[in-house]
Chains A and B, each alone.
Chain A
Amino acid sequence: MSEASAHAAHHTAPTGFIRKYVFSLDHKIIGLQYYALGLVAVVTGMVLSWIMRIHLVWPNSPIPLVQWLSKVGAPGGVVTPEYYLSLMTMHGTLMVFFVLTNAPFAAFGNYFLPIQIGAEDMAFPRFNMMSFWTTFVAFCILISAFFVGDGPPLAGWTAYAPLSAVGKDSGPGEGLGQTLWGLSIFVFCIASLLGSLNFIATTLDLRTKGMTLARMPICTWAWFITSCISLLAFAVLLPACLLLVLDRVGGTSFFIPSGLNVSDHLQPHQGGSPLLWQHLFWFFGHPEVYIAIVPAMGIVSHILINNMRKPLLSHKVIVYCMMAIGFLSYMVWGHHMFLSGMNPFSALVFSFPTLMITIPATIMTLIWLGSLYGSNLRINAASLFCLGFISMFVAGGVSGFFLAQPTIDIYLHATYFVVGHFHMVMGVAAIFGVFAGTYFWFPKMTGRMMNETLGRWHFWLSFIGTYAIFMPFHYLGLAGNVRRYSAFTDDFLVPLVPVHKFITYAALFTGAAQLIFLFNLIYSRFKGPAATANPWECTSLEWSTPSSPPPFDNFGGVHPVVYHDPYQYGVKSSTGDYLMQTSPERAGETP
C-alpha cells in the first residue's frame, strides 16, 4: 500500500550513503544485499559442515580453534554430541532458509526480475526494503543462538516436536536456543511473505509495453512461480512456528502429548499431537525444496539458451513443467512421513504424486539435453555450471525415485541416502545455479568481467568435489548408515568410517576450492576488466540498460518497448546471430 509515496520518493535517486546503500529502496541494491547475506550464511554453514565432517571421523580428537566457538560445547576443542547436533541444526537452517531461499530467489530475483520485465523498480519498494531487513533480523536472531546459555538448538532444521517443544529438559540447546530458532523462522516467514507478494504484484502489473506473460524470460517465470509457491508455503509455516513457540513459552499443548517423562521431569502438557507439527512443517517443507530449485532451473535455462545460441526446443513446456512441479509440490508432503505413524494407506496416496513429479522433471531434463543437440554451445564458466547443474539434477533426481516409494523407504528412510539425495538435488544443484548466475550477471551487476580462468578452475574442482562428497552418501545409505549421528559406535557403522574419511577429505578439498570463487568475486569487483554493454550477446531486457550497473531507474527515464519473444537466437540481424527483445527489427530480415 506504500507504492505511491515510495515512487514519489524514488523519482530521483537518493544521494546519502544510508539511503543509497543501507536502507535503500532500490531493488538492485536490495538484491545485492540479499546476495551478500546469502554469502555470509553459506560461508558460515560450510565452516559448520567442516567441523561436523572432521568430528565424525575423529570424534575424540580436538579440532583447532573450535574451543573458541564454545567452551561448553567443545571442551578443549573436542565437540560434544549435543554440540554436533547444534552445528547440524544451524547448518541446515542457515543453508535452507538463508542460502537456498535467499540466493537464487530473493537475490537474483530482486535484481533482475524488474529489469527483465522493463519496470523501474518493484511494485512496493518499501516492502522490498522491509523484507530484506526483516530477513536480516531473522538471521541475527538465529546466529545469536550461538551465544546464549547452553548453545544453539539440537532438534535439527525440521525441529520435530516434542523434542523441540518441551523445553530445556530435552537437552542442552533446547532452552533459549530453540526458542530463538522458532522466533527466527517466524520472522523469516514474514519477510518471505512480503517478498513473494512484491514479486507477484510486480510481475503481474509492472511489465512494460509489449512484455506479455508469454514474452517473459524463463527465469522471470521461475521467480514468479517460486513466489507463488513460497507465498502459500510460508503462510503455513508462520502459524506453525507461532504454535511451536506458544508450546514452549505459553504452556500450551498443541504438539505435546500427555504423560511425557523427559529426563525425570514429568511434563505438565497433555493431549497434543506430534504428528500435527510434522504435517504443518512438511506442508511447508516440501514446497521449500522447489523454492530452492525452481529459480535455479530458470536461471540455468536462461543462461544455457544464451550460450547455445539457439532457443530451447520448447519455451512453453519448460514453463508448464515448472508450474506442474510447483502444483504437485503441495500434494506430496506426506512422503517425508511414511514411517511416522500416519495411516499406512495415506503413504500410498502420497507416494503416487511424488512419483508423478518425476514426469515434469524428466521432461525438463530431456528438453535441456535435446536442446544441446545441434547447438553452437559456448563453453565458459557460466555455461559449465549450467551443464554441471543438469548433471547434478539428474544424479539427485534418480535417487528421489527410491525415496518416493514407501516400501524402499522402510529401508532407506533416515539414512545417508536421503542426505545424499537432497544435498545433490536441492543443495548443490541450486548452488550451481547461483554460481552460473553469478558468472553470467556479474558484468551487469558490477560493470566488470569475472576472471574466466579462475571461474573454470572453480567449476572443475567443485564439480569433481561435489560428486566425491555426495555420491558416497548414497552408498552409505544402502549400507544402512543412519544420519544425524555424531559418532559411529555401532558394530555395523564402524567399518564404514573409511568411506566417511574419504568424504571428509573431499569436503575439505571442495570447500577450499570455493576460496577461488570468493577471491575471483572480490578481485574482479575491483580489478576486473570493464564489461561491454552486452558481453554475452544476450537478448533479454537486462542487457539493454544504458549502463552496467543499470542507473537508478534501470532504463534511464525511457521505458523499453518489447517486440519479441525472449530468445531470438540463431537469426540474422544487424546485431549478429541474435535479436534483442527491444529491437524493432523483425527476425530474419537483414536491415
Chain B
Amino acid sequence: MRASKPCIALLMATLCPALMFGGTISGKVTYTGTPAKQKAIDMSKEPSCAKQHATPVMTEGVVTGPNNALANVVVYISAGADDANAPAQAVTFTQKGCQYGPHVLAMHTGQELDVLNEDQTSHNIHPLAKVNREWNKSQPPGTPPIKDKWDQPEVIEVKCNIHPWMHGWFVVLKTNHYSITGENGGFSLPNLPPGKYTITAWHEPDGKQTQEVTISGNETKSVDFSFVLKPY
C-alpha cells in the first residue's frame, strides 16, 4: 500500500501532458507453495528505535496478503512503452524506526532520489549497486537529505551498515509505467497507448516473470502473475 500510492500519484503527474485516455493493464500477483515465515526483528541494540514499535517489526523478505496475494512485487513494462524522461519530482526513501519506507522503491533512471533520516540515531545507506556506482554514506540525525540518482536500470539491494536488519530495494527502471503490489497483490498500469507490451513482474531477491500483452484502444486487459515460494 504505502509503496503504490506515491507511485500512482507520480504516474498521473508525469503522464498528464501525454494522452489522458488509453489502455490499462491491471491484475493480481499471487503465490503458490509455502512462503518463508516472517521473523520478528530484534532491535534491542538500538533502543531509540525499538521503543517506537509496540509490536516487534517483522522481516519483509516475503510479505503476503489474504488469499495468497503477494506484496512488494514490482510490475512494470519492460518493452513496448515509450522510454519517457525521468519525472522532475524526486522519490523519497525514508529511514524511520530503523526501517526503510518503502521496502521496495521503484524509480526512473536519472530520477532524483532523496534519502531522509527521521530517527534520533545515525543511519548508514549502502546501496550494493553493481552496474551503477556503489556508495556508502552515513547520515547523522538532523542532517540534510542525501541526494542521488541512478543512470543505469538495475535492481539494487540497499542495506544499513549500522543496523544490519535494515534492508530494502531500489528498482531502477527505464519506464514510468510501473506499479508495486500491496497486501492485496493488485497492480494497475494505466494510460497505455495501443501497442504490444512486455510486462515484467519482479519479486526479491531475484524472481522475474514476463508476459506479452497487446493493447488496442481504450480497453483494460487483465494479467495475473504467480510466484512459487519455498519455506526456506
Binding site for B on A (CB under 8 A): 59-60, 72, 75-76, 78-82, 150, 168, 171-172, 263-265, 487, 489
Contacts and interface: CB of A to CB of B under 8 A. Distances in A.
Residue picked from B122, B126, B135, most chain A C-beta under 10 Å = B122
A487 B146 CA distance: 21
A550 to B, nearest CB: 54
B157 A264 contact: yes
B130 to A, nearest CB: 10
Contacts of A80: 122, 137-140
Contact of B136 (A76, A79, A150, A489): A150
Chain B residues touching A, range: 20 to 34
Contacts of B146: 75
Nearest to B141: A60
Contact of A59 (B136, B137, B140): B140
Given A81-B122, A263-B161, A60 B140 contact: yes
Q: Which secondary structure dominates chain B's binding surface?
A: loop
Given A150-B136, A171-B161, A263 B143 contact: no
Contacts of A76: 143-144
Interface in B117-164: 121-122, 124, 126, 128, 134-144, 146, 157, 159, 161-162
A81 B142 CA distance: 14
Contact of A489 (B121, B143, B161): B121
Contacts of A59: 140
30 contacts: A59-B140, A60-B141, A60-B142, A75-B140, A75-B144, A76-B144, A78-B140, A78-B143, A79-B140, A80-B122, A80-B138, A80-B139, A80-B140, A81-B122, A81-B124, A81-B138, A81-B140, A82-B138, A150-B135, A150-B136, A171-B136, A171-B161, A172-B137, A172-B138, A263-B126, A263-B128, A263-B136, A263-B161, A264-B128, A264-B157
Nearest to B145: A75
Contacts of A171: 136, 161
A78 B159 CA distance: 22
B143 A75 contact: yes
A476 B40 CA distance: 37
Given A78-B140, A80-B137, 20 more contacts: A59-B140, A60-B142, A75-B139, A75-B140, A75-B144, A76-B143, A80-B122, A80-B138, A80-B140, A81-B122, A81-B138, A81-B140, A81-B162, A82-B138, A150-B135, A150-B136, A172-B137, A172-B138, A263-B128, A263-B159
Nearest to A82: B138
The 7 closest A-B pairs by CB, nearest first: A80-B138, A75-B143, A78-B140, A78-B143, A172-B136, A81-B138, A76-B143
A84 B101 CA distance: 28
Contacts of A78: 140, 142-143
A150 to B, nearest CB: 7
B138 A265 contact: no
Nearest to A262: B161
A343 to B, nearest CB: 32
Contacts of A264: 128, 157, 159
Residue picked from B126, B136, B157, B161, most chain A C-beta under 10 Å = B136
Nearest to A83: B138
Contacts of B141: 60
Nearest to A61: B142
B113 to A, nearest CB: 16
A217 B62 CA distance: 77
Nearest to A150: B136
A60 B141 CA distance: 7
Residue picked from B140, B142, B143, most chain A C-beta under 10 Å = B140
A78 B138 CA distance: 11
Contacts of A489: 121
Nearest to A175: B136
Nearest to A486: B122
Contact of A72 (B121, B128, B137): B137
Nearest to A59: B140
A524 B140 CA distance: 46
A265 B159 CA distance: 12
A140 B68 CA distance: 62
A76 B140 CA distance: 10
A75 B138 CA distance: 10
Contacts of B136: 150, 168, 171-172, 263
A172 B138 CA distance: 9
A574 to B, nearest CB: 71
Residue picked from A59, A76, A263, most chain B C-beta under 10 Å = A263
Nearest to B157: A264
Contacts of A79: 140
A302 B191 CA distance: 89
Contacts of B139: 75, 80
A114 to B, nearest CB: 51
B120 to A, nearest CB: 9
A172 B161 CA distance: 11
A150 B136 CA distance: 9
Contacts of B135: 150
A263 B140 CA distance: 20
A86 B23 CA distance: 55
